[in-house]
Amino acid sequence: MVPSAQDRLALPAVGERQSLREQVADALRAALVTGEMRPGVVYSAPVLAAQFGVSATPVREAMLDLAKEGLVEAVRNKGFRVTALSDRDLDELTELRRLIEVPTVARLAGTADPAELELLRPVAEEIVRAAETGDLLSYVDADLRFHVGLLSLAGNMRLVEIVRDLRNRARLYGLEALYRTGGLVHSAREHVELLDALVAGDGDRTEALISQHIQHVRGIWASRPEQPLR
């Protein structure tokens, strides 16, 4: 079944770096986070496979991985439905991120090697470019790499995986609207400001910026798409 132009998702191409299953799962997570894949909608593995240009098997396996993470749920003989998040869910995700990321990132100011911090500057600049062009999938991908790379400098990989999971469960439904109003570039530049504060060893400013940034992200989460008719 070939999807119509109206039903096609803006999914990235898959290549050779990872297994197809992993690549498809990463691409679908990005589509979920940006709200490209909408809550309540049932997606067929063969239809998605046609868009990726791969067989249905790695897509079905990837969707089963996402189901284990609670991002989608299997619908018998139909496909997979994207799970919805309530305001309470979003508040709890935000609270957990603040509890973990704010003190962790603040401690990096004055302790992390400035040279290692500077390795993240191209990623921060990539986030800004994606915001300027409205490339939301690239924005989400670069944003994840920036935050994971930053937290990795703390040396606690369990913490990194917890935050990665929290981010994957989020839905940035407001990204497109924020881009249209010009606010996405401002949010993107917070990454550069945060990096500047870290390199300068300014712990107070770093703490204020990461706390502010996470709260801004919660505001983006709050903007929801219309639910599909059942």
Q: What is the pLDDT of residues 112-121, one digit of tens each?
A: 999 999 999 9
For 35-41, what is the mean pLDDT? Answer: 84
87-221 matches 20-82 in CATH topology: no
> What's the pLDDT score for residue 230?
31
Cβ neighbours of residue 204 closer than 8 Å, sequence gap 6 or more: none
Query: What CA–CA distance (Å, rounded) separates 229 from 226?
Result: 9
User: Any idea what the Cα angle at residue 19 is, between residues 14 and 25, rounded to 5°?
Assistant: 65
> Domains of the chain: which residue ranges?
20-82, 87-221
208-226: per-residue pLDDT in tens? 999 998 887 776 655 544 4
Q: Exposed, middle or buried, 25 (CB in 10 Å: 0-12/13-18/19+)?
A: buried
Instruction: Name the CATH code of domain 20-82 (choices 1.10.10.10, 3.40.50.720, 3.30.300.30, 3.30.70.3270).
Output: 1.10.10.10
Asked whether the beta carbons of 198 and 182 are under 8 A apart, the reply is no
Taking the CA atoms of residue 168, residue 174, residue 177 and residue 179 in that order, the dihedral angle to the nearest 10 degrees is -50
CATH 1.20.120.530 fits 87-221, yes or no: yes
pLDDT tens digit string along 186-195?
889 999 999 9
Tokens of 228: 């599909």
Tokens read off for 77:
């003989």
Residue 224 pLDDT: 47
